[in-house]
Amino acid sequence: MLKNIFRLIIIIMSLSVITFASVIKETEDFYQLLEAGRFDEVKAKIEKVEKPAEKHFWLSRLHFYMADYRSAFSEISEALDCENAEPLWEQIRNYYYFVYNITEDFHEYKSTHFVLRVKGLDVILNSYALNALEKAYEEIGKDLNCFPENRIIVEVYPNKKEFSLASTLSEEILDKTGTVGICKFNRLMIISPQALPLGYSWLDTLAHEYVHFVVNNLSGTKCPLWLHEGIARYHEKRWSSKEPVFLTPAGKNKLKEAQEKNSFISFSRMSPSLVYLDSQDDIMLAFAQVSNCIAYMKKEYNPDIVSKLLKNLDIYEEKTAFKETLGVSWKNFEKKYIKYLKNMKINESPGVIINEVFFEKKSEDEFIGTDLKGYIRLGDKMRQIARFDAALINYNKALKIEPANPVVLLKIARTLIKMEKTEDAEINLKTAIEENPNYVTPYQVLGELYFKNGDYDKSIDIYQKAVAINPFHPQSHRDLARCYLNKKDILNAFEELKITLMLDPDDLETKVMLERLKL
């Protein structure tokens, strides 16, 4: 059954083009209008369609893009009952049926500009997600001069299989590339962070996919892939940072390696999508290149160059748009940028964990270089028998080899905490976070350290960053609730206690605290 579903997924994206070519040849921009969310224009075109089968077909597509899956299924069924129905429509109806089934128990939460759809335990994500998305709406809107009017649909799928079905990306592609989010069918879709052992930067991913939505809106879906991804990565942290943060230490390492090997990835190799590159390593390098390219473009030309280029892409053919905006073709622009990359000064961070997405749990050893393992094992033995000074000696020997390795920094910090040297522990944890911003454990340990020391503001700040990676860690919410209680912030304390109890129903202490607040 699943094999048949995946065969369906493989062809489903071509169906728009096939049917669109054979059914309504005069409306060559129909699909682009759907992707850009220009539904009023789509409705106007549908009104002009005379054949009932074709009208029902395009109404089904419109409803699907509006995330009304029941109506989409109904309309495609009507189309199939008409004369001149296309045989391939039956497969589209099957696809709509699958999507409707996996989304029918979604709960909806609305903010000013977004509709979040989640189910199961993912209901705990709603306030975090909508808050981040509204911030992204404002900040990215200022940067790109675009503020979509209609509420944007955001769907969170609880596991890889359901995300695969909804997104039409096979599970094999997800495993190979680490894809966890997509902007498609005029909506944002991500995998729940509960589907990954360590979570992932899911709030940044939501913002990233929202940028894709804005780019589609501005460019009429005509933005080349490399530019699309560069703009999205460049802006994805604008919801939480005053300045763009787009190059992680791991990304810088990839650029440095490409410098040395002269192995930069061409823009053309990134099409039709980064997910079709050979590995997560290649995808990481591509993201580092294209996001840094946006910074280069803004510096080399002017800060508003990106929004101007996107608007020109909606008006002109691609080559003309680049010439009109930058004064050069994108091919010549690429040559200038690669030359810049080859001479760019890049600082390396030995030992950082690369920003891979892990669908399966990994052992600690997989994050430690071979040269470190002997020192780590001996340090662990010393720590187990409370010989903390000896443990630190061995951990520090490992740290000299990989000074940015978060596992080593964590072991040092935990040893220092045992020795009640909390200030030194804090330094090591901050270094682990700075060098490995998407690795959640240092945030959790630092948040707990601040909480135990009574630094409630710092604890709240760091735990919120931890939740932005792994919101399914009960201790984070438990300590957040207690921090809020100490600050007399009853409303936020109440919300965090509810989440804690959802994640850990046997937590009697939290039950008692929650009942007291209700009273």
Residue among 343, 315, 310 nearest 326 (CA): 310
At residue 6, does pLDDT exceed 90?
Answer: no
Q: Report d(CA 277, CA 286) in Å as an integer.
A: 9
Residue among 218, 234, 96 nearest 166 (CA): 96
pLDDT tens profile 42-80: 999 899 888 999 999 999 999 999 999 999 999 999 999
At residue 386, does pLDDT exceed 60?
Answer: yes
**Cβ atoms of residues 99 and 66 within 8 Å:** no
At residue 418, does pLDDT exceed 50?
Answer: yes
Q: Mean of the pLDDT values across residues 322-336?
A: 91
For domain 364-518, the CATH superfamily is Tetratricopeptide repeat domain (1.25.40.10)
Element (H, E) at 475: helix 474-486
Choose the CATH number for 2-103 among 1.10.150, 1.25.40, 1.10.3470, 1.20.1270. 1.25.40
For residue 471, cis peptide bond before it (omega within 30 degrees of 0)? no
The confidence score (pLDDT) of residue 424 equals 97
CATH number at 107-343: 1.10.390.10
The confidence score (pLDDT) of residue 416 equals 98
Task: Report the b/e string of 88-105 with b at 16+ CB within 10 A.
Answer: ebebbbbbbebbbebbee
pLDDT tens profile 461-499: 999 999 999 999 999 999 999 999 999 999 999 999 999
The confidence score (pLDDT) of residue 273 equals 78
Q: Mean of the pLDDT values across residues 218-229?
A: 92
Backbone angles phi, psi at 108, to 5 degrees: -110, 135
Mean pLDDT in the chain? 90
pLDDT tens profile 232-270: 999 999 999 988 899 999 999 999 999 999 999 999 888
Side chain identity at 182, as an amino acid letter?
A: I
| Most distant CA pair in the chain, distance | 83
The confidence score (pLDDT) of residue 519 equals 63
Question: Same fold for the domain at 2-103 and the one at 364-518?
Answer: yes
At residue 412, does pLDDT exceed 70?
Answer: yes
**Two structure tokens written together for 476:** 């984070």
Q: Report d(CA 35, CA 184) in Å as an integer.
A: 7
**If you write DSSP's letter for every residue of 206-251 in order, what string do you get?**
HHHHHHHHHHHHHHTT---HHHHHHHHHHHTTTTT-SS-----HHH
Provide the residue ranges of all domains of the chain, joining segments of one domain with +.
2-103, 107-343, 364-518
**Cβ atoms of residues 334 and 269 within 8 Å:** no
The residue among 453 and 28 whose pLDDT is bigger is 453
Q: Name the pairing type of β-strands 152-157 and 114-118.
A: parallel
Q: Mean of the pLDDT values across residues 500-508?
A: 95
